[in-house]
Amino acid sequence: MDVGLKIRNLFRDKRKPQYGALDLLKYIGPGLIVTVGFIDPGNWASNLAAGAEYGYTLLWMVTLSTIMLIILQHNVSHLGIATGLCLSEAATLYLPKKLSRPVLGSAVLASISTSLAEILGAAIALNMLFDIPIRIGAILAVVFVVIMLFTNSYRMIEKWIIGFVSIIGLSFIYELTLVDIDWGQATYNWVVPSIPQGSMVIVMSVLGAVVMPHNLFLHSEIIQSRQWNLEDKKIIRKQLDYEFFDTLFSMIIGWGINSAMILLAAATFFKFGQPVGDLQQANNMLIPLLGNNAATVFAIALLFAGISSTITSGMAAGSIFAGIYNEPFDIKDYHSRMGVAISLLIALLIIFFISNPFKGLIYSQMILSIQLPITIFLQIYLTSSKKVMKEYANSMRFNVVLLIIGGIVTLLNIMLLISFF
C-alpha cells in the first residue's frame, strides 16, 4: 500500500454511515467548495460583459457550461471515492515520473495563475469599498487567506466557504430586486443557443474558462472528507450516489449566481447602452443606475468571491504539490503548506509587477487556457483505466461523453488563447 493511502487510512472512519435524508444533507459541502471557482472574479468579468453587450442572449452559455462542469467534476470526484487518491496522487502513482512531474508542474503553474486572478479580484473589491490601493489590498487578502488556511481545519473552512457563497447569492438576489427582469426572455435564452455577431470571444471566455484545472484537482481531494472506508462496495456505491447529489446541488447554485450576473448586467448596462470593460467600471456605473447601496453590495459580493476562491486555489495548490510526493493534502504537513505558499506568494509577487489589474486577469486566463486540456485528459485517462479504478472505471458510453466535453473545452480554450493575440 502506498504512503499516501496509509496516511489516509489512519484517519478514515471505519463505521458504516446511515443513509437517510439527514445524512444526504451532511454530504453537502465539497461541491460548494468547488462552486467557488465557478463564481470567481474571472467569471464575473466575463458574465458582466456578456450581459452588458448582448442582454439575455448569452444566458444559454451558463446552462451549457454548468452541464459540462457537472459531468467533469462528478467524474473526477469518483476517482477520489473509488481509489482514496486525489488526481495528483493518482498521476504520481500511475504515470511515469518523467511524465507525471511535468504534468503536475504545469498544474502548479496553473494554480499560481488562478491565485493571481482571485487575489486581484479581492484587491479590486477592497479598492471599491475602502479605496485601498490594489497592491496593499492584495497583501491584506493573502494575509487573511493564509490565516484562514493555516489555523482552521478543513471542516471549519468548508463552513466558512458555505457562508461566503450564501452571502454572494443573497447579494445578487438583492441586486435583482432592484431591476426589472424580462423573465420570459431570460427563460427562453437559458435553453435556446444563439451567437450574436461579434460575440464569439465572450462565448469562448465563458464556456472555455468555466472548467478550471485547480477545481478538478481539488474536488478529487476534498470529496474524501466524506469517506468512510474503501472496503465495503455497497458503501462506496452509496458514496458515489451521494456525491452526485452534492455536485448537482452545488453546481445549480453556481448556475444561479452566474445567471444573476448576466441578468443584472442585461437589465442595467445593456438596457442603457453602457458596455462594461472591467469590474471597477461596472461598480461605478451601478451607482447612477441603482444607487450607492447596489454598488456597495456588488463590491461586498466580489470581496467574498475573491477571498473564498483564493482559499480554494491555495488548497488546490497544496493538494497538487503534496500529491507530487505521494501524500494527501494536510495543512499541517510540510509539502501541503509549501504548495499553498508557492501558489499564494508567487501570485502576490507577480501582482506587484502588474501595472494594469485587468490585463493581469487576462494573462492569468491565458495560462489556464494552455494547461486545462492537460488536466482534463489526465483525468479521463485515469478514470477510464481499470488498473486505477477497477470496477468503477468509466463505461465506454460515459467515456465518449467525457471525450466530447474535453474536446469542446479544449477547442474553446485554444480559440480563447488565440483571441488574446
**Which tens digits make up the pLDDT trace of 81-100?**
888 899 999 999 999 999 99
Half-sphere exposure for 354 (CA within 13 Å, toward CB) = 24
Residue 362 pLDDT: 64
pLDDT in tens, 250-293: 899 999 999 999 999 999 888 888 777 677 777 776 777 677 78
* Residue 2 resides in a domain: no
State how many domains the chain has.
1
Residues 373 and 70 sit within 8 Å (Cβ to Cβ): no
* Residue 4 resides in a domain: no
Residue 338 pLDDT: 95
Q: Say whether pTM exceeds 0.85.
A: yes
The cell numbers describing 330, all together, are 494536510
* Residue 1 resides in a domain: no
Q: What residues make up the domain containing 134?
A: 11-419
Cα torsion angle, 322, 326, 331, 334, sign: negative
Residue 2 pLDDT: 47
Give the number of other Cβ atoms within 10 Å of residue 183's Cβ: 10
Is residue 4 predicted with pLDDT exceeding 80? no
Is residue 3 predicted with pLDDT exceeding 60? no
Nearest residue to 33 via CA among 253, 207, 256: 253
Residues 261 and 179 sit within 8 Å (Cβ to Cβ): no
Is residue 12 predicted with pLDDT exceeding 60? no
- What is the percentage of the chain residues whose pLDDT exceeds 90? 42
Give the number of other Cβ atoms within 10 Å of residue 421's Cβ: 5
Residues 408 and 65 sit within 8 Å (Cβ to Cβ): no
Least reliable range by pLDDT among 20-29, 180-189, 244-253: 20-29
Q: What is the CATH number of the domain that holds 328?
A: 1.20.1740.10
Residues 58 and 247 sit within 8 Å (Cβ to Cβ): no
C-alpha distances in Å from residue 228, one per residue of 221, 235, 249, 343 = 14, 8, 22, 31
* Residue 396 resides in a domain: yes
Residue 227 pLDDT: 58
Least reliable range by pLDDT among 15-19, 113-117, 339-343: 15-19
Residue 48 pLDDT: 86
Average pLDDT, the chain: 84
- Residue matched to cell numbers 489512519: 10
Residue 320 pLDDT: 96
* Residue 3 resides in a domain: no
pLDDT in tens, 200-244: 778 877 776 677 888 999 999 988 776 555 566 777 777 777 788
* Residue 212 resides in a domain: yes
* Residue 179 resides in a domain: yes
Least reliable range by pLDDT among 148-157, 225-234, 237-246, 328-337: 225-234
Residues 90 and 388 sit within 8 Å (Cβ to Cβ): yes
What is the full DSSP assignment across 256-305?
HHHHHHHHHHIIIIITTT----SHHHHHHHHHHHH-HHHHHHHHHHHHHH
* Residue 5 resides in a domain: no
Rounded Cα distance between 77 and 140, Å, is: 33
Rounded Cα distance between 295 and 336, Å, is: 38
Nearest residue to 175 via CA among 16, 297, 37: 297
Rounded Cα distance between 251 and 348, Å, is: 29
